[in-house]
Amino acid sequence: MANKTILFVTPELSYSGTPRSTLRMCKVARQIGYNVAIWSAEQGPFEREFRSQGFSVRIVPFTKLRDQEIIALIKTFDLAVCNTILTDEFARVSCRYVPTVWYIREATNVPYFINNEVRRQDWLENSRDIVCVSEYASKALQQYTKHKISIFKNCVEDEADKYTKVTPGSGQTVRFIQLGTIEYRKGYDVLLQAFQQLPPPYQKKAELFFAGRIIAPEADYAQNILQKTEKMDSVTYLGELTGSDVMKTFAEMDVVVVASRDESCSLVALEGAMMSKPLIVTENVGANYIVKEDNGIIVKTGSARCLQDSIMRMIDLKESLKDMGNRSRVYYEEMASMDIYRREMEKLFSRSKRKNSIFFIPECIRNKMISSEIVFKYRQNKKRGRKYLLYWFLFGCIRRGKRLLSFWK
């Protein structure tokens, strides 16, 4: 095993979930005994986190994927793990030469990523290498593909002992926190509305903190959220947190909130459980399997009223928040610890054994064929042909209907 090398691919290197999950997989792979290589399509500040763990990152833009030098390098790996739906081009090329995992971490937001991306949509439909992070995500993805989707759940590293944690419910107020990119999908507008609607007695007992980066496509939404925040005394925006600042902030809070409209398997929820915090999550959070009646609340997605009620309930249960946080920790150890994750990743990385198998030869031939431009264009023309036949049939029915009407008249 020691001489097997896994290529991990991330689309970018910002302080966000994708590079973090990539780094976590790299660390586990090294612990198990694999050699590790990391490629990113774009440069970014998170590269320093890879370097701090002894990993180097190679920048390989999508436009370079078909260069002979890059293809020759891909052939030397035993497995390629392409992280998130945005690495479809990497997955489409690497599967021709080595066993490949296309680790899609998106769920009901898939339409956003395939809109006007015909090639990505086509590969989503035809790839046999798709894995995802939860049953929730699997159900969302199944409508786009013809093939089976395997599930390998998220986890988070146990960093609880590194920070001095505030005992939930021990302060004068109950401090709530949500982390994540400031975008519509994360439901910050719903969360702010829920806080605005709190009766005055509850507003005096609660504080809300949130943090996350602002991305260009969601700049208007983020600006609107920040403007509302400035008018609310009990709400604070902490900016974009990086490195250890994330866990330091978690440690100071009482309750972790994930108000997302869609979240395939929230790392924030798992991190909250790891840090022994009670949880409030929505029905559309794939990690809500870690929330039970004794450690948190699952609320209706997009409902400010339901979220408001859950916040008020947490305030009313202030004396019980410590026990709820302790139960969160138990569920973390049972369902999202690194021991669990290591076993999951051992199964995933064992796909590297297929490279030297005689059964992988026909798989490569199949992948080269279905990923080729010629076959892709054929599939698209075939779809257009079906549409043409449908239009022709409907036009014929309408024309015949008009003839019948004129006959009866």
Domains belonging to the chain, first-starting first, are 5-155+340-370 (3.40.50.2000), 160-336 (3.40.50.2000)
3-class state of residue 207 by DSSP: strand
DSSP 253-313: -SEEEE--S-BSS-HHHHHHHHTT--EEEETTBGGGGG--TTTEEEE-TT-HHHHHHHHHH
Question: Which DSSP symbol is given to 290?
Answer: G
Helix (H) or strand (E) holding 150: strand 150-151
Sheet architecture: strand order including 100-103: 57-59, 35-40, 5-10, 79-83, 100-103, 130-132, 150-151
| Angle at 206 (CA atoms; ends 275, 169), nearest 5 degrees | 45
**Residue 310 CA neighbour count, 13 Å, CB half:** 27
Which residues of the chain have a pLDDT value below 50? 1, 385, 388-393, 403-405, 407-409
Q: Which of 322, 28, 270 is nearest to 156 (CA)?
A: 270
Tell me how far apart the alpha carbons of residues 298 and 235 are, in angstroms, rounded to a whole number. 22
Tell me how far apart the alpha carbons of residues 204 and 206 are, in angstroms, rounded to a whole number. 6
Q: At what angle do helices 304-316 and 188-196 cross, to 10 degrees?
A: 60
What percentage of the chain reaches a pLDDT higher than 90?
84
pLDDT in tens, 248-270: 999 999 999 999 999 999 999 99
Q: Which residues, other chains included, contact 324 with Cβ-Cβ below 8 Å and sequence gap of 6+? A: 168, 278, 294, 295, 296, 317
Which token pair is 28? 């586990």
How much is the pLDDT for 383?
61
How much is the pLDDT for 405?
46
Tell me how far apart the alpha carbons of residues 254 and 216 are, in angstroms, rounded to a whole number. 31
| E strands, 227-352, in order | 235-237, 255-258, 279-282, 296-299
Q: Which of 221, 153, 216, 232 is nearest to 186 (CA)?
A: 221
How much is the pLDDT for 100?
98
* Residue type (1 letter), 157: E
How much is the pLDDT for 346?
96
How much is the pLDDT for 395?
52
How much is the pLDDT for 28?
96
How much is the pLDDT for 227?
96
Tell me how far apart the alpha carbons of residues 58 and 41 are, in angstroms, rounded to a whole number. 9
Full-model pTM: 0.81
| E strands, 104-161, in order | 130-132, 150-151
Phi and psi at residue 257, to the nearest 5°: -115, 140
Q: Which of 78, 73, 72, 71 is nearest to 5 (CA)?
A: 78
Which token pair is 354? 């297929």
Q: Which residues, other chains included, contact 87 with Cβ-Cβ below 8 Å and sequence gap of 6+? A: 9, 10, 11, 41, 102
Q: Which residues, other chains included, contact 233 with Cβ-Cβ below 8 Å and sequence gap of 6+? A: none
* Residues facing 9 on adjacent strands: 39, 82
| Angle at 217 (CA atoms; ends 211, 223), nearest 5 degrees | 50
Which token pair is 108? 């009901």
